[in-house]
Amino acid sequence: MASSPSSPFSECHELIEEMRRIYSTDEDATKVHALNQQFAGVRQRCEQREDKMQAVIKELTRRVSVAQAAATPTEPDDAHDNRLKQVEAERLAAGEYLTSMEHEAQSLEQMQVELRARGASLKVKRQEIDAMAMEEVPRTKHELSLYAHISKISWHYEATDRIRGRVNAHENKEVHPIDFALGDVSEYQLANDLWNIID
């Protein structure tokens, strides 16, 4: 970048040239020539730095313009505010939904714990019932078999509205039918009538 005639560099250059004319010896001329070369080198470096700084300033100006354009909203203020309000409302709704889901998850976890405890309790009860059945069913079958053998009564369990059956008398091979209506007689009378048939 060339300097103007009125710049400090130009004035310095003119001063050196004047000194060169004043000193007539070869030694002085050599010194002046070396100083002139140094001056030329300094001026060239200054021009290079100035060009570089101008490029840096242009780049920074371009970046500022891009940043300003990006920061400037492309929609009216009212529309921008409404959009921000909508986004905030959606955020609040999402937070409430998340809270609701967390409470529901906690309820489900509590229900799962209760169901596990209930399942364990039912398992224990099932084991108790199975153990009781293993003990009681054979005993009940034995008692029913002994009762049928002693009383010689065979009941008709399909008759639900009446008491029906028969008494098998093995000695004389006679069969005595049993048929009583429910509620016709008292349980005491019914028991006596059954004993009379068995006897």
Give per-residue pLDDT as tens, 105-147.
888 888 888 888 888 888 898 888 888 888 887 888 888 788 7
Please report the pLDDT score of residue 85 as a whole number: 86
State which H helix or E strand residue 41 sits in: helix 26-71
| Tens digits of residue pLDDT in 146-179 | 877 777 788 787 877 888 888 876 666 677 888 8
Confidence of residue 3 (pLDDT cuts 50, 70, 90): very low
> Could you tell me the pTM of the whole model?
0.32
Closest CA to 155 of 184, 197, 192, 188: 197
Q: Is the pLDDT of residue 77 over 60?
A: yes
- Of 12-26, 90-104, 163-177, the least confident: 12-26
Q: State mean pLDDT over 51-69.
A: 84
pLDDT confidence bin for 5, thresholds 50/70/90:
very low
Question: Which residue's structure tokens are 């093995």?
Answer: 170
- Cβ atoms 80, 72 nearer than 8 A: no
Mean pLDDT of 84-109: 87
Q: What is the pLDDT of residue 20?
A: 61
End-to-end CA distance of the chain: 145
